[in-house]
Amino acid sequence: MALDRREFLNLGGMGLGGVALASLLGEAGLLGADRSPVRPAIDPARPYAPRPPHFNAQAQRVLMVFCTGALSHVDTFDFKPELVKRHDTPMPGQDKLVTFQGENGNLIKPLWNFKPRGQSGKPTSELLPHLGALADELCFIHSMTGKSNTHGPAESQMSTGYILDGFPSMGAWVSYALGSETQNLPAYVAIPDPRGVPQISTRQWASAFLPAAYQGTPFNADKPIANLQRPESISEAADRATRDFARLLNDRHLAQHPGDTELSARIASYELAARMQLAAAEVGGTGGESAATLELYGINDPNKNKASFARNCLLARRLLERGVRFVQLFNGAYAMGEGVGNWDGHKTIANQYPGHANILDQPCAALLRDLKSRGLLADTLVVFVTEFGRMPTFQKGASGRDHNPNGFTIWLAGAGVKRGYSYGATDDLGYRAVEDITTIYDLHATVLHLLGLDHERLSFYHNGIERRLTDVHGHVIEGVLA
């Protein structure tokens, strides 16, 4: 049907009005958001090239400190006066409660005294005095919950979002999404405890179905990367000439197979390995560090386990300041034997924990202080986690606490989070989260948000499913954001 001039102008005006309305609604955040998956555009020849976030990021990099074995929240960061009051009495309403290792006994108060810290007055345990002294820097989440009371699956969920094997770790997702700020070191580095690996071993930093380029690279201050150094029998000039010739052959081979992404990614990984021969050797030492810095971390401590962990903490800082996107630092290792290498305090927690605390406390606190003094904490997000908490009771017939995923404490520090703040709560005895309950999915969503990534859209298509770190769950924990 033909339009006359009046109808044409009328319809045109309505169209312009609709455009204006859409613009105003968009500015007010009232339009429906685009929820389509976002898969980063990756050049196979440059898989580690930096990529933009979905929106402005407050954090540029992440340090995750993972205390394996399940650090007891009621003995460290979650003070419960009622637990002290009801010491050595049955837990109300939980007669013959059975948990991971069997029946529980009476309630047992914290084995170390709590006292207020800093301007915030946050009570923390004397077990960890150095970390407690930093209470004004920390954002505690006291209402974390997990899906498993078994170490392996619980470790897996904290690192990958899933209790089952076969899913990428958070560090792999972050390096897949954002690439790296450095082209001489990996985007994602895992630093196992000097005493050994976590219970699920290298799956803690695996890339699973993401491209292999995004798996974590294990570093250790005491055990440099194997086969990285040039043999003494080969001169530096010969080594450089060999790499140049290999690059020439690789480029020719790639030109004969255009579009072969696996080939280009393989070449890129070899070239990174070559650059790491120089960069990784430098970052793993203590060159350029002052005597005061070494003392701050406890690197010369006579306790060799503490000194080794201190060197790993210093290594973490040196990696972060050189542009590594995600550093996962482990405290505690899986070992056969009660409490030998981690925080798994089932039988004699009063004897086990002081030794572990001595290793963790000073070096970890020094790492935070050092990051802050260098201005790195302003855009680095620190995430301190464990796989679950422990019971407010002792196990029946033992002097230790059983596993408890129903409510435990983790904390954040640095970029984009509140300082000297506590979010959520467990009940009066520290048994179950009851206020602002959070999940590991929520934690992962929050970490991605602070990196400028929408956890509902960051995706990888695998076996017919748009996979994401948070599966179909998770909400950003708005209450902890600065």
Same domain as 396, residue 305: yes
Residue 444 covered by a domain: yes
Same domain as 183, residue 304: yes
Same domain as 335, residue 255: no
**Domain of 157, in residue numbers:** 61-224+292-480
Same domain as 275, residue 192: no
Same domain as 150, residue 249: no
What is the arithmetic mean of pLDDT over 215-244?
A: 80
Residue 458 covered by a domain: yes
Task: Determine the Cα–Cα distance for residues 409 and 140; give it in Å rounded to an integer.
Answer: 7
Same domain as 215, residue 257: no
Residue 37 covered by a domain: no
Check residue 341 and give its pLDDT. Answer: 81
Same domain as 137, residue 175: yes
Same domain as 316, residue 203: yes
Task: Determine the Cα–Cα distance for residues 345 and 390; give it in Å rounded to an integer.
Answer: 9
pTM of the model: 0.87
Pairing status of strand 217-218 against strand 138-145: unpaired
Query: How confident is the model over 442-464, as pLDDT tens digits?
Result: 999 999 999 999 999 999 999 99
Residue 2 covered by a domain: no
pLDDT band at 306 (very low <50, low <70, confident <90, very high): very high
Same domain as 303, residue 272: no
- Cα torsion for 192, 480, 157, 176, to the nearest 10°? -70
Q: How many structural domains is the chain composed of?
A: 2
Check residue 258 and give its pLDDT. Answer: 77
* Residue percentage of the chain with pLDDT more than 90: 69
Same domain as 211, residue 89: yes
Same domain as 165, residue 246: no
124 to each of 112, 120, 216, 419, how far by Cα in Å? 10, 11, 33, 15
Same domain as 275, residue 208: no
Tokens of 251: 């480029």
